[in-house]
Amino acid sequence: MTHFLVTGVSGLLGLNFALAVDGKKHQVTGVANTLPMAWASFKNVQAELTQAGVIERLIEEHKPDVILHCAAIANVDLCESEPERAKFVNADLPGTIAKACLRHSIKMIQISTDAVFDGVKGDYQEDDPTNPLSVYAQTKRDGENAVLSANPDALVARVNFYGWSATGNRSLAEVFFNNLQAGNQMNGFTDVTFCPMNILDLSDLLVEATDLQLKGIFHMVGAEPMSKYQFGVRIAEKFGFDTALIKPVSVRDGNLKAARSPNLSLSTAKLQKALGHDLPAFDAGLQKFYDQFRRGYPQYIKTLI
Ligand SMILES: NC(=O)c1ccc[n+]([C@@H]2O[C@H](COP(=O)([O-])OP(=O)(O)OC[C@H]3O[C@@H](n4cnc5c(N)ncnc54)[C@H](OP(=O)(O)O)[C@@H]3O)[C@@H](O)[C@H]2O)c1
């Protein structure tokens, strides 16, 4: 049994990981901040992680085997407006946690992002040079460096995932779902490519990587690169919505505050070699997202916060 201390447990990844993993082979203690849990089947506490001494106190009180650090300012455009706060939370805090983990002989898993790359080349390997285009991406890349220079045994997972969230709007898949269900027209970027992974598949991979004691940087993204427009169409088809509601447009028409990398297809060859198996197919992941909907999971998860 591995005891995970999961930061950002009120967020999209933290909460889904905790629900998927706690009480099976492993145990989770979750840490939320401004959105404390209303109730949950797993143990959880509230803490502002940037306050002095908080990380040490959490480690001493809960004695985890692993800190899965999901907490971040993950809103790309918010980071552009508040660069100093973004640096403090996304770059400095991971370094502090990595040092504390080293002192206490605890494994650290830092959740990073595909957006550390500029998206010019595509099919990125783990050791390709990074070139972040936005404040968010820059602070996440600095967070990777802070973690690995403080604690070379840490695992840095560069991810891109989708799933159902407690607030109902944290993932792109939910944004497509909400609008398509309401019959709203939506834009889908045809010139932004990514590799979305179902959050349940990512949770399984993070546990497997922990069991295998992987360290260093790994790409943990979906097996199939696609544009954001194609992603929306696949969701519409799965749920039986009208695909014509999604208008194929360029990201240049999106009026986004922060720059987006055009081609974030990432190679997962290093991960597959370490695991000794292929990654789950996109369609299988989308089926899990759909099955959760059929079982009322989106309503259930909203009751937790
Ligand atoms: N969503 C994606 O597809 C995607 C893609 C690439 C990488 N990532 C990375 O994946 C990780 C998880 O993202 P997500 O989508 O799950 O994010 P999210 O839904 O926005 O959740 C962020 C979490 O961080 C917590 N948090 C932020 N600042 C904190 C602080 N100072 N102290 C304590 N907790 C704090 C929030 O707590 P409260 O809400 O309780 O305040 C929340 O639980 C992030 O590292 C993100 O950069 C996400």
Q: Do 81 and 257 touch, CB atoms closer than 8 A? A: yes
- How many domains does the chain divide into? 1
| Main-chain dihedrals φ then ψ at residue 288, nearest 5 degrees | -65, -40
The string of pLDDT tens digits covering residues 222-254 is 999 999 999 999 999 999 999 999 999 999 988
Residue 3, classified by CB atoms within 10 Å of its CB into exposed (0-12), middle (13-18) or buried (19+), is middle
Q: What tokens appear for 184 in the block?
A: 């709203």
CA–CA gap between residue 29 and residue 61 (Å, rounded): 11
Q: Do 267 and 125 touch, CB atoms closer than 8 A? A: yes
pLDDT at position 203: 98
| Main-chain dihedrals φ then ψ at residue 246, nearest 5 degrees | -95, 115
Judge whether 130 lies within some domain: yes
Cα 255 to Cα 79, 230, 252, 258, distances in angstroms: 16, 20, 7, 9
pLDDT at position 190: 97
Judge whether 58 lies within some domain: yes
CA–CA gap between residue 173 and residue 139 (Å, rounded): 25
CATH number for position 66 = 3.40.50.720
The string of pLDDT tens digits covering residues 36-57 is 999 999 999 999 999 999 999 9
Q: What is the Å distance from ligand 1's center to 9 Cα?
A: 8
Q: What is the Å distance from ligand 1's center to 73 Cα?
A: 6
Judge whether 300 lies within some domain: no
Judge whether 125 lies within some domain: yes
Q: Which of 5, 12, 301 to mutate to test the pocket of ligand 1 (most atoms within 8 A of CB)?
A: 12
The string of pLDDT tens digits covering residues 55-101 is 999 999 999 999 999 999 999 999 999 999 999 999 999 999 999 99
Q: Which of 10, 76, 135, 228 to mutate to test the pocket of ligand 1 (most atoms within 8 A of CB)?
A: 10
Residue 229 belongs to what H/E stretch? helix 228-239
| Confidence at 155, pLDDT banded by 50, 70, 90 | very high
pLDDT exceeds cutoff 90 at 200: yes
pLDDT at position 253: 86
| Strands 186-189 and 161-162, bridge-based pairing | unpaired
Judge whether 270 lies within some domain: yes
CA–CA gap between residue 50 and residue 93 (Å, rounded): 6
Of 1, 60, 61, 7, the residue nearest 27 (C-alpha): 1
Q: Which residues line ligand 1 (CB under 6 A)?
A: 7-8, 10-14, 32-35, 48-50, 70-74, 89, 111, 113, 140, 159-161, 170-171
pLDDT at position 254: 85
Q: Which residues pair with 4 in a beta bridge?
A: 28, 66
Judge whether 295 lies within some domain: no
The parent domain of residue 14 ranges over 3-168+195-223+265-280
Cβ-based neighbours of 103, under 8 Å, separated by 6 or more: none
Judge whether 133 lies within some domain: yes
Q: What is the Å distance from ligand 1's center to 240 Cα?
A: 31
| Main-chain dihedrals φ then ψ at residue 232, nearest 5 degrees | -60, -40
Q: Mean of the per-residue pLDDT values for the chain?
A: 97
Q: Which residues pair with 246 in a beta bridge?
A: 186
pTM: 0.98
Judge whether 299 lies within some domain: no
Among protein residues, the one whose CA lies closest to atom 12 of ligand 1: 70
pLDDT at position 154: 98
* DSSP assignment letter at 243: G
pLDDT at position 255: 82
Name the percent of the chain lying above pLDDT 90.
97
